[in-house]
A and B are shown apart, each in its own frame.
Chain A
């Protein structure tokens, strides 16, 4: 199955735009891209003498946190997609609906 040429051009343009935006964003700012938790919440808490503590289950170790976020994202995405489909139906179901 060949994708229409217009769609390929649109995807290529989208990827190029995204890469350009990422390049401009990452290369031309001096930020370290830390979260506001560190830049704001923990900064003020350290100044007040109450630094943040390790969580009870500390998954912020090496790539473990990436794994946990991936797991959470996968599970959340699955639940979201499953119930979205059951509530809103797929494109085929919409096409085949009697009142469509």
Chain B
């Protein structure tokens, strides 16, 4: 576990990822011919326009409780309150869908709950396990939601991710309560749906469950970080364009997440093939609609 300081990028040994981030910023600005406009706005513009009193009140409470520091995933307090509220609202229907899908499947399959508990523990462990990437000189964690999506279905995978993220935000200084909705949307919703879709498409195109599971792990990881980049760009762009900030953040994630995505793909493929050989009856039928039925 690494101790975190507040002067990242300020020293010559700031790490390859920080250098890459600077390079990414320079590259995007060079493409746009706007070298003089690389400084982001101070965020005051993104704080305007809070429409819902409830969201505003929740945001004020979160800001009063919090003090400057640092965490993981999208950390506490980074998103303006209206964006944090929006991502809670966007995630809520998927969480309800997940709860209903688990209820339906639990009634039909006796071994489903032990399987779900096992997958939940795996996602919790995977998503709080920092893995060093020597090429980048930094650490990051896989998500595990691609694996969960192919093993228990995307709807249940969203619930698994929600529980893991809530535990991490509450007890492990990992993410945050105000940003929980955004983290559920990226890791839970995007990771699960992209993973499941990739598995279905690649399996049908190639006929190989190994390749399908690999694609699920790989693309769910990359989709999660692309989603994080997009959410950050939307919330923090200020006077800069969302697209250019999205490009910069995505490029900064790349040196760490590209190799980790490949690793996650390999792990997902190995785990899926193992379960399909040992206990195929535990898996969803590959053709089940939305993964909700056995």
| Interface residues of A, Cβ cutoff 8 Å to B | 24-25, 29-60, 65-66, 68-69, 72-73, 76-77, 79-80, 83-84, 86-88
Interface mask (B235-278 → A, CB under 8 Å = 1, otherwise 0) = 11110000001001100110011000000000000000000001
Residue among A24, A38, A86, A87 making CB contact with B8, cutoff 8 Å: A38
Residue among B71, B124, B278 making CB contact with A88, cutoff 8 Å: B278
Q: Which residue of A lies closest to B115 (CB)?
A: A87
- The distance from the CB of B271 to the nearest CB of chain A, in whole angstroms, is 11
For the A-B complex with A45-B78, A87-B279 known, give 11 more contacts whose Cβ atoms are closer than 8 Å. A34-B15, A34-B139, A36-B257, A37-B73, A39-B9, A41-B232, A48-B238, A53-B63, A53-B76, A69-B128, A87-B111
Q: What's the dominant secondary structure at chain A's contact region? A: helix
Across-interface contacts of B235 in A (CB, < 8 A) = 50
In the complex, are the beta carbons of B115 and A80 less than 8 A apart? no
In the complex, are the beta carbons of B71 and A37 less than 8 A apart? yes
Residue among A36, A38, A57, A73 making CB contact with B70, cutoff 8 Å: A38
Residue among B9, B138, B282 making CB contact with A31, cutoff 8 Å: B138
Indicate whether A79 sits within 8 Å of B117 (C-beta atoms), given known contacts A39-B15, A41-B228.
yes
Question: In whole angstroms, what is the CA distance A33 to B256 when docked?
Answer: 11
Indicate whether A34 sits within 8 Å of B138 (C-beta atoms), given known contacts A49-B44, A59-B171.
yes
Indicate whether A39 sits within 8 Å of B8 (C-beta atoms), given known contacts A45-B78, A52-B71, A65-B1.
yes
In the complex, are the beta carbons of B43 and A76 less than 8 A apart? no
Total B residues in contact with A, Cβ cutoff 8 Å: 84
**Which positions 18-34 of chain B face chain A at CB distance < 8 Å?**
18, 21
In the complex, are the beta carbons of A32 and B42 less than 8 A apart? no
Indicate whether A36 sits within 8 Å of B238 (C-beta atoms), given known contacts A31-B17, A48-B42.
no
Question: In whole angstroms, what is the CA distance A12 to B64 when docked?
Answer: 54
Question: In whole angstroms, what is the CA distance A44 to B279 when docked?
Answer: 45
In the complex, are the beta carbons of A35 and B68 less than 8 A apart? no
